[in-house]
Amino acid sequence: MTEISYRDLPWPVRDDITAAQARTWEKLAQPSTWLIGAERIAIAAEARQAQDCRLCRERKDALSPEMVQGEHDHLGQLSALEVEQIHRIRTDPGRLSRAWFQGLAAKGMIEERYVDTVGVIANVVAVDTFTKGLGLDPWPLPVAQPGEPSRHRPAATRKLAWVHTLAPQDAIGTVDEDLYAGRPTAAHIYQAMSLVPAAVKDFFDLVTNQYIPPQAMMDFDNEYRAINHAQIELVAGRVSALNQCVY
């Protein structure tokens, strides 16, 4: 089993970051709501592979990604549809469009698996970018664990996004009430993957520990990190601008 540890670094890494990443890596190997463990590891590996994909590089350089056709350089473990999803999200997220998403759906993409896959990609990107930032090699991916997906679909009837989402008020009184802790509202970004509540919980474990906890975001009287609120938001804003993320 891969042990995530930053003990040997010359700089201190907060224990809560290390612990959250260790939890992420452990869950990465396990079956989730719509994916078996082996699929999750294959998705994680493909997300890494995408960075060396010639087609993705050519598309990134093109005025429009749709202008460049071809085959992805892939690892051969997933369908062409899944490879297209993973590579585009990993390498050119700012130019994803509703038409692209609908194109995947028309070819048979399953919405619940799509969202579960987004969660895997996000987790791997969060951990891999962190190690890159510190000059470390990416952590080896964990070994897939056996088991079946739970296939739990919440009462996600609203389409706040391209995908179905579980509105906070619709979660009240259901088994997914804990997703919003009974609150009637939530930030859109928190609702984005709510079609797969476990994906939200897993990713926001990293959000809380690598960024700041929700209750600290607007608490400008106190600082919670070695960089202050303004510095945190400057870094976040710069990254999002480079990714051309409108949100």
Q: Which residues bind other proteins (CB under 8 A)?
A: 6, 9-14, 17, 85, 89-90, 93-98, 101, 115, 118-119, 121-123, 125-130, 132-135, 160-163, 187-189, 191-193, 203, 206-207, 209-211, 225-228, 230-232, 234-236, 238-247
Closer to other proteins by CB, 11 or 148: give it. 11
CB of 31 to other proteins, least distance (A): 21
Using CA atoms, how far apart are residues 145 and 31, in angstroms rounded to an integer?
Answer: 7
Number of alpha carbons in the 13 Å side-chain half-sphere of residue 201: 13
Closer to other proteins by CB, 132 or 147: give it. 132
Closer to other proteins by CB, 4 or 127: give it. 127
Using CA atoms, how far apart are residues 87 and 6, in angstroms rounded to an integer?
Answer: 29
Closer to other proteins by CB, 110 or 173: give it. 110
CB of 152 to other proteins, least distance (A): 19
3-class DSSP state for residue 38? helix
Q: Over the Cα atoms of the chain, what is R_g?
A: 18
CB of 148 to other proteins, least distance (A): 25
Closer to other proteins by CB, 116 or 173: give it. 116
CB of 242 to other proteins, least distance (A): 5
Closer to other proteins by CB, 148 or 221: give it. 221
Dmax (CA) of the chain: 53
CB of 34 to other proteins, least distance (A): 15
**Type of residue at 226:** A
Given a contact cutoff of 8 angstroms between Cβ atoms, the answer to whether 53 and 74 are in contact is yes
Using CA atoms, how far apart are residues 210 and 123, in angstroms rounded to an integer?
Answer: 11
∠30-205-187 over CA atoms, to 5°? Answer: 120
The sign of the CA dihedral 122, 127, 128, 134 is positive
CB of 49 to other proteins, least distance (A): 16
Residue 158, strand partner residues: 165
